[in-house]
Amino acid sequence: MISTGSIADIQALISQFKSEGKKIGFVPTMGALHEGHLSLIDAAKEKADIVVCSIYVNPTQFTNQDDLKQYPRNVETDKSLLENNGCDVLFLPSDDVMYAGRNTIKFDFGDLDKVMEGKFRPGHFSGVALIVSKLFNIVQPNYAFFGQKDLQQLTIIKKLVEELFFNLEIVPVAIKREPNGLAMSSRNERLSKEERHEAQIFYKALSEAKLILKQNHSAENAKEIVKSLFSNHRAQLEYFEIVNDKDLHSKTKNYLEADTVLCIAGFIGNVRLIDNMYLIS
């Protein structure tokens, strides 16, 4: 695996690969890699000739400075994981390379970034769109791979690609779960063993709400079930929404459709977790 923090180096490598007719698959990450990331790499290996990963903890997408400070960073472990799992090139830029003190461009995705994560973390998706645009321009991939766990991020990045005419295909990859159902996330590293056990409530809530909706109960019933699960639990519910995956508008009827997805977010201690589940899968 070739590892570099230089834009010139990475662009020279990519041009070389492209001149040989190779397709580039790109997996952008913030590090603290887990099996979920490895499934993105597997998907990239299947579709592309060369797999490029980036590790960069992007400050502009953090709306809480403590969260940024506490975000897990394990670069050496990450490097060996990538090396052993078929990553060809690692882009590991510094803040100076990515921002050079500048952070002036803001994105606004209309309704898409005002709900759910956007409502609780205003400015988050502007930071995501900014860094993803920079990375796409640097790496110029043919395919870019994103986990479905960050469903709203995926929807917004698809919009970004469409509206800014990025010449690449976004490939969504299914959520990877722990045996207890907990969606894999770098933030899980900050949970104690006991908290990891308790964090399965998010999966449980999604599963129970899904069952209720499949039995033709109303959104209100599903929301009641979720609220009551959390009411006697140490985890704190931030939101539970039933939306369609295209414009993220709330659904109030016709749940049994392929675009219906249940989304949840909340805290275990001071660790914020999100998860989602399609109604039909």
| Residue ranges binding ligand PAF (CB under 6 A) | 28-30, 58, 61, 128, 131-132, 150, 153
Q: Which CB atom, from 176 or from 210, has the smaller least distance to ligand PAF?
A: 176
Least Å distance, CB 57 to ligand PAF, is 8
Least distance from ligand PAF to the Cβ atom of residue 227, Å = 28
Please say which residue, 134 or 210, places its beta carbon nearer to ligand PAF. 134
Q: How far is the CB of 27 from ligand PAF (least distance, A)?
A: 9
Has 197 been annotated as catalytic? no
Looking at the Cβ atoms of 59 and 207, the one nearer to ligand PAF is: 59
Shortest reach from residue 208's CB to ligand PAF, in Å: 27
Query: Out of 37, 124, 217, 249, which one is annotated catalytic?
Result: 37
For residue 63, which phi and psi values (nearest 5 degrees)?
A: -100, -5
Task: Please report where in the chains the tokens 């999604």 appear, as a residue.
Answer: 206
Question: What is the distance of C-alpha 138 from the center of its chain?
Answer: 20
Residue type, 37: H
Q: Residue 176 — left, alpha, or beta (φ > 0 → left; ψ -120 to 50 → alpha)?
A: beta
When the beta carbons of 146 and 255 are compared against ligand PAF, the nearer one is 146
Nearer to ligand PAF, 58 or 155 (CB): 58
HEC sequence for the chain: CEEECCHHHHHHHHHHHHHCCCCEEEEEECCCCCHHHHHHHHHHHHHCCEEEEEECCCHHHCCCHHHHHHCCCCHHHHHHHHHHCCCCEEECCCHHHHHCCCCCCCCCCHHHHCCHHHHHCCCHHHHHHHHHHHHHHHHCCCEEEEECCCHHHHHHHHHHHHHCCCCCEEEEECCCECCCCCECCHHHHHCCHHHHHHCCHHHHHHHHHHHHHHCCCCHHHHHHHHHHHHHCCCCEEEEEEEEECCCCCECCCCCCCCCEEEEEEEEECCEEEEEEEECCC
CB of 257 to ligand PAF, least distance (A): 27
Query: To the nearest whole angstrom, how small is the minimum distance from the Cβ of residue 185 to ligand PAF?
Result: 9
User: Which is nearer to ligand PAF, 153 or 260 (by Cβ)?
Assistant: 153
The catalytic site residues sit at 37
